[in-house]
Amino acid sequence: MSHFAKVVDGKVTQVIVAEPEFFDTFVDSSPGTWLQTSYNTHGNQHPEGRPLRGNYAGIGFSYDATNDVFIAPKPSDTAVLNETTWLWEDTEAQAPELPQDPQG
């Protein structure tokens, strides 16, 4: 079985499991476009080396038609989109502070 995401105005509103042939006879009169998404694609990687649309789509994800990728919602104001993996990276993440040497 395959997974398909319904995209309306650049946002994923629904994800279903169906065979591709389902869309040969499926009539959907509501606005939007159905796009295949891969459950095994994350960070533009796939275990078999064939990533599909950057990431597996989830409800609320954005669809970037120019780059043909699904992008998760931005998790924080400081997050920056990595345009290789199509994942958000937090620019404010800091390394833990090391304890100071009491001897100076």
Model confidence pLDDT, tens digit, residues 9-19: 999 999 999 99
pLDDT band at 25 (very low <50, low <70, confident <90, very high): very high
Cα–Cα dist 56/5, whole Å:
9
Residues with Cβ < 8 Å from 37, sequence gap 6 or more? 3, 4, 5, 15, 52, 53, 56, 57, 70
In a domain, 96, yes or no: no
pLDDT band at 66 (very low <50, low <70, confident <90, very high): very high
Cα–Cα dist 16/5, whole Å:
7
Mean pLDDT of 24-52: 95
Residues with Cβ < 8 Å from 86, sequence gap 6 or more? 43, 44, 54, 55, 67, 69, 70, 71
Q: How many domains does the chain have?
A: 1
Q: State yes or no: pLDDT of 98 exceeds 90.
A: no
pLDDT band at 1 (very low <50, low <70, confident <90, very high): confident
In a domain, 99, yes or no: no
Higher pLDDT, 5 or 100: 5
**Where in the sequence is the domain holding 68, given as residue range(s)?**
2-90
Mean pLDDT of 72-78: 95
Percent of the chain with pLDDT over 70: 88
Are the beta carbons of 55 and 49 closer than 8 angstroms? Answer: no
Mean pLDDT of 36-43: 96
In a domain, 66, yes or no: yes
In a domain, 100, yes or no: no
